[in-house]
Structure 1
Amino acid sequence: MSIDSPTAAVPRPPARTAPAPVMSGAQAVVRSLDLLGVTDVFGLPGGAIMPVYDPLMDDEHVRHILVRHEQGAGHAAEGYAAASGKVGVAIATSGPGATNLVTAIADAYMDSVPLVCITGQVFSTLMGTDAFQEADIVGITMPITKHSFLVKTAEEIPGAIAAAFEIASTGRPGPVLVDITKDAQQAEAPFVWPPKIDLPGYRPVTKAHGKQIQAAAQLLATAQKPVLYVGGGSIRANASAELKVLAEATGAPVVTTLMARGAFPDSHEQHLGMPGMHGTVPAVLALQESDLIVSLGARFDDRVTGKASLFAPNAQVVHVDIDPAEISKIRTADVPIVGDLKEVLVDLDAAFRAADAEHPHDYTEWWTYLNGLREEFPLGYTPTSDGLLSPQYVIQRIGE
């Protein structure tokens, strides 16, 4: 063959891929948790979830914290999620074990806590027969979860658990239930990872619309009596640093709801405290007397607003939330902004600085009024004169 003659392409043998390991559905549950980076789960064993406990006890990476009641598992997983920023995981058996999780699931739903609850279910062949400790936990929890999965085959387990973590931790965080029949836990199937996650219609929006950001910035720059009304979304979005930057750029007063405590320093001169029925007088009246409320990850809860129709009657509203269902649900938003609060705050800060450069804001009179309220209604308590300790004093000393 001459050096110039073309050489025929030599076909390469197909790449060899290792066959997917075959394991039981129960092993697939634990292996999925491993691969998702889970290190701690809270649970209470029972008959319908027992197959999962054998591989769970043998696993070196996932620690199981035994509770005395399933509700405790759910609330502990909630606290773990809130403190760590990870998805909390609770495990329970079928029937009464699963229904004992309902209170914690509802709490996680209301407080936007990323939580995955894995429950055992009776054999699929017994479902619908009122079998021992059978309950339709998927139906029961449907109104209080972002989504609920019923898994009847071992092959479905990796995909269901991966999808549950995706749903629980993205968009507005919340609880997801994965209910797995006992025969699915006992059956064997190839373990395929990463599984294909197909969630039609689930497309959380994180980047806000630019025109809405500009409109909000213009309102902030021209308002006379604005308030930054900060809710729990600021914590969930890990947006405390961005919030402080925007607050200091605007110089506007800040109020933080119960769910947002700690998102903005109590010691900051712009912080008026917590609004609502358990809040401070300056925070309550600042909202009520304002001409602009910039709601950041808050939902106009009745504990804050009282009678919604009488709340802040003269205020325009900029409402920022990652969940479009929350916007204008209680108070109509003049400027609705759907997006991840951390990103929105960065964009809003830049837009405000540009708008303020053209029309510098002046909140002097507003702060004169608010500081007067601070002096007239300071936080504090009357010391006891009978030698007994007041509850406020005890809490103060613990804090110190």
Structure 2
Amino acid sequence: DSDKPALPAYFSTRRLYYVDYVVLDSHRKSMLKKMDYYVDGNDLDTPKMLSKNAFRDLFNRLMASPIKPKPYYDPGPWGGEWLKKVRKLPKDMINCAWSYDLIEPETSFEADLEGTILEFPFPVLNAFGGKKLLGKLGTKKKYAGQFPIRINYDDSYHGDDMALQSHPDDAYIGKHFNEPFRQDESYYLVDTAPGSKVYLGLKEETDYAEFRRLVERAEKDLIPFDHNQYVNSIPSKPGDLFLIPAGTIHGSGKGNTVLEISATTYRYTLHFYDYLRPGLDGNLRAIHSKEAFDVLDQARRTNWVLKNLKQKPRKVRGGKGWDEFLIGKRDDMFFEVRRLEFLSKVEEDTAGEFHLLIPVVGERITIEPRDSEGDPVEVPFSCLGVIPAAMGRYRIRSTKGDPCQVVKVIMAT
């Protein structure tokens, strides 16, 4: 009904996640098995159609090639300027708080078919690829067919502090939201400004009851308080990785460019405190203090955090002109984060599991398949390359010949 007012943005997003995406994903998987033709209707003025056989040939080639998802960008009340500069976003954009580089339901990618550029939703790739894309670990029953890891940026460089928040564990997210797995996160610092920090855990001396009273009073009566007296913070610098298992209070402080590597279940951010600031719509942002405290592990305080959530890089492989470091892994998190450092090139092998690669130092990298006839792909600084499990051996090369560092995300064994 065109006379009805549009749904609020927050409600539209919830409907997409809990109704539309679920129904459409099931329908898409059914139709892919039956289709005769696939129509790319992203450009309604120039729709593109390919036959079932052409579609299958293309997607089989994609399973042997690096894939570069297409990011999209959102402003926010704490958003910064780093992504606008690096990604060459429109100058009139108020700021950029988030870049969503890989969140399966919301992500698309482009593919070249004999000189014609086609755009597909990422769930089509997952539905077609299965184990060829995700490998054995990524297709475990607990992930319910979803691409289990998401990649995005939180940009507060020349911005402000993010809200203090927490995320639910397996028991809570299953009972209250019927989701199959918990929301663990991690922050990799790509760039920082002077004085930057990350909020992580409570301070050793924090009185839990007093902190809760102040949070609830701020939510109800709009009375601010000094969160720095209660929430632990750690100075941040480029190359730092902070692990954020479910139940840990956290938030990026201002002056950070955060590469966020997390579980795909990302719509369950429970806010403790957002400094009583309005969102871009002029309204105060939602606070969920009861739920946030329900999932908070109050034992995660300064000493525990420094021992367990900021790990010292450990060299796991190396050769002439290159090294690989394990920089973050926990038994209760299903992914691990590594960093490749090389002068010219490094040889890699999926060993049957998908890889995610993000260049964080160096102008750009070229990813070249070695065991297949897949296509090489260039990935610029800060962007993402998805390596299908079936691709096998591949080479990462510094495209411009400068030293490079690449964050490598894999499923933990």
Which category describes the TM-score, using the shorter chain as reference length? Answer: under 0.3
Q: Based on CA coordinates, which of the two structures has the bigger radius of gyration?
A: 1
Structure ranking higher on relative contact order (CA contacts 8 Å, 6+ apart): 2
Scaled by the length of structure 1, what TM-score is found? 0.23
Greater strand content = 2
